[in-house]
């Protein structure tokens, strides 16, 4: 191959790359939803019956996980409007607002 041809091709490609517009992207944010405050969520230690009395029936009772060994007790999840309540056996262990960002 001709060295002049390779040099000319490389120069044209470099110029094309240098003059190409920069890539741009939009950041999409989920629609704002009213969030439940910590005081409004079921507190740790409440029983399932207490949660249902105070907060009403959940929108959805999700299938339980675990329960296959004493070291792995059943974990139940109840979904309410705007948050999810996690139970270990029949006691609240966490109440998490929808769209909560994990803390590192």
pLDDT tens-place string over residues 45-85: 999 999 999 999 999 999 999 988 888 999 999 999 999 99
- The pLDDT tens digits for 8-50 are 777 877 777 677 676 677 777 666 555 566 668 999 999 999 9
Write the burial class of residue 101 (CB in 10 Å: 0-12 exposed, 13-18 middle, 19+ buried).
exposed
Strands, DSSP E only, in 7-90? Answer: 60-65, 75-80, 83-88
92 Cβ contact partners less than 8 Å away, ≥ 6 residues apart: 42, 43, 44, 45, 46, 47, 51, 85, 86
Compute the distance between CA of residue 95 and CA of residue 58 in angstroms, rounded to an integer. 13
pTM: 0.62
């Amino acid at each position: 191959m001709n060295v002049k041809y390779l040099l000319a091709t490389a120069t044209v490609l470099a110029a094309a790359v240098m003059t190409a517009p920069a890539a741009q992207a939009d950041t999409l944010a989920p629609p704002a939803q009213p969030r439940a405050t910590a005081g409004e969520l079921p507190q740790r230690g409440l029983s399932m019956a207490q949660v249902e009395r105070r907060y009403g029936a959940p929108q959805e009772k999700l299938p339980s996980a675990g329960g296959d060994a004493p070291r792995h007790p059943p974990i139940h999840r109840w979904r309410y409007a705007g948050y999810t309540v996690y139970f270990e056996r029949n006691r609240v262990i966490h109440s998490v607002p929808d769209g909560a960002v994990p803390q590192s």
